[in-house]
Chain A
Amino acid sequence: MAKGHEVSIRPKGDVAVIDIKGDVTALTGQPIEEAYRQVTAAGVKKILLAFASDCYINSGGIAVLIGILAESKKTGQSVRMTGLSAHFQKIFAMVGLTKYAPIRPSEDAALADF
C-alpha cells in the first residue's frame, strides 16, 4: 500500500541534503534513518531534509523524524526542513518539530539559513 518511497543524499557545500519522496511512516522510515546515519558518519554537521510536496506522513513517520532530531541534537548537528505541504507544515508546528528543525519555504532559503 505504501507509495514508492525513495531517499537520496546530495551534497550542497557543507550541507547534506536528504531528499525524501513518498511515504514517511514507521514502515518506510528505515531508509531515512540510514541516510541520516550515513551523513553523520561522514561528519556532516548541517542537514537539510527536503520532502516532496506530496509526501504522506503519519504519526509513525513523525516518530522516525523525532529519533533523527534527537540524535542530531546530541551530536550538535543543525537540521532544517523544506518542501512540506502547507498541511504538514501545520502538523509539524503542532507537534513542535519546528522548534528543533525550522521549516524554510525553499531549498535555497534553507541553505542560506544554516
Chain B
Amino acid sequence: MIEKKFQLHLPSTLGCEKVAMDFAASVAKNMNFPADRVEDLKTAVAEACINAIEHGNKMDASMKVGISLTVDRDRLQVAVHDEGAGIEGVASPHLDSKMEGKTDRRGWGIFLIKSLMDEVTFESTPEGNVVKMIIHLEK
C-alpha cells in the first residue's frame, strides 16, 4: 500500500483544535479504526494542538499549528507541529497534589496523549516543536 499523507494548518486559537480532531477522526474512520480508538485519537490530537497553541505558539494567532497525518497499512501517524521555542519537560501530573492546590490544576495534556496513543515522541527543532503520535489498527 502506498503511504498517504494529509495536512492541515490551524491558527493558534483555542477551539480550533476541534477542527483537527474531526480531521483525524475522519481519516481514522476511513481506515476502519474501532470507535473507541477514534475517540482516543480525537482526545490525543486535541491535547497536542492545545499544547502547541498555548505553550508552543504562546497563543499568537498569527502562528500556525500544522497537523500531518500519514496513513500506512496498519497504523496512522499524526504529527503536530508548532512554531515556538522548545517546551521544558513537564512532570507527571498527580491529582491529589492538584486537589490540594500544590500544583497547577492543568497540565494533563501530555499525560493523556501518552496514555491514549501507542507510540509518542516529542522533538524540539529550530523551526518549532513536533509531537509524533502513532496509533495501530490492532493494538
Select A67's contact among B14, B40, B105, B109, beta carbons within 8 Å.
B105
Select A94's contact among B46, B98, B115, beta carbons within 8 Å.
B115
Known: A58-B50, A66-B98, A87-B36. A95 touches B14 (CB 8 A): no
For chain A, which range describes its interface: under 10, 10 to 19, 20 to 34, or 35 or more residues?
20 to 34
Select A66's contact among B14, B17, B99, beta carbons within 8 Å.
B99
Of the stretches A11-19, A35-43, A75-83, A96-104, the one at the interface is A96-104
A25 to B49, CA, bound (A): 14
Nearest residue (CB) in B for A59 is: B108
The answer to whether B105 touches A66, judged by C-beta atoms less than 8 angstroms apart, is yes
The answer to whether A60 touches B99, judged by C-beta atoms less than 8 angstroms apart, is no
Report which residue of A27, A70, A73, A100 has the largest number of chain B beta carbons within 10 angstroms of its beta carbon. Answer: A70
A83 to B53, CA, bound (A): 30
A110 to B107, CA, bound (A): 29
Report, nearest first, the 5 A-B pairs whose CB atoms are least far apart: A1-B15, A87-B39, A96-B95, A59-B108, A63-B105
